[in-house]
A and B are shown apart, each in its own frame.
Chain A
Amino acid sequence: AQSVAQPEDQVNVAEGNPLTVKCTYSVSGNPYLFWYVQYPNRGLQFLLKYITGDNLVKGSYGFEAEFNKSQTSFHLKKPSALVSDSALYFCAVRENTGRRALTFGSGTRLQVQP
């Protein structure tokens, strides 16, 4: 069975500083990885995905993620955090067979202080 771990419940960063939200995964076969963001009482918004190719994936709102196969990680990064980036972030991995559903991590709350 596949799984996703987000080891930090909350990440605090000052505005203008770089941010990293960590994600590790476990899946048989090739991983298909996704990051989503959720604002309070809203649905999830897609940020970026890794399917194949370059290990550094660029996405929406200046976010990027680095895929590391040897460490089975897919950390979300941004060079300069904004207060408006404060939200709940989810990492997910897609099943490679059968129902192809997404398995989500438990989420990491990002707080950016002005």
Chain B
Amino acid sequence: DGGITQSPKYLFRKEGQNVTLSCEQNLNHDAMYWYRQDPGQGLRLIYYSQIVNDFQKGDIAEGYSVSREKKESFPLTVTSAQKNPTAFYLCASTPGTTSSYNEQFFGPGTRLTVL
């Protein structure tokens, strides 16, 4: 998981609450991604960012928001509009722009549970 940290490791949310998941990388990577992992479904792309102050919706962006104010940080907010937020959330980064063919590096993940 080296170089990418996610916190907290476990997070519990009550109905109607917004929560923010942290993702920090010290790899000097330009592009960062958020994925959601559900059992038996693989990973699905929530949001991605190619450069600072720019981000784009992925395949399942509804109920989520992000910011990219610093190159090393890409926090994800799970809003109360997300109807089924219980999942394992993974942050990833890759060097260069998204036009490169480098592999993505993943953080250790945050497991979010709605109470």
How many A-B contacts if CB must be within 8 Å?
58
Using CB atoms and an 8 Å cutoff, list the residues of chain B in contact with chain A.
Answer: 1, 4, 6, 33, 40-45, 48, 56, 58, 88, 90, 92, 98-101, 103-109, 111
Q: A41-B88, A90-B43, A101-B98 provided; 12 other pairs, C-beta below 8 A?
A: A32-B101, A41-B111, A43-B106, A43-B108, A44-B92, A44-B106, A99-B48, A99-B58, A100-B100, A101-B45, A101-B48, A107-B40
Residues of A within 8 A of B1 (CB): 42-43, 45
* Per-residue contact bits, chain A 93-112, to B (CB 8 Å; 1 contact, 0 not): 01000011110111100000
Nearest B residue to A30 via CB reads: B101
B56 to chain A: closest residue by CB: A99
Could you list which residues of chain A lie within 8 angstroms of chain B, going by C-beta atoms? 4, 9, 32, 34, 36, 41-46, 49, 51, 90, 94, 99-102, 104-107
Say yes or no: B42 contacts A90, CB within 8 Å.
yes
- B9: nearest residue on chain A (CB-CB)? A41
CB distance from B22 to the nearest CB of A (A): 14
The distance in angstroms between the C-alpha atoms of A42 and B33, with both chains bound, is: 17
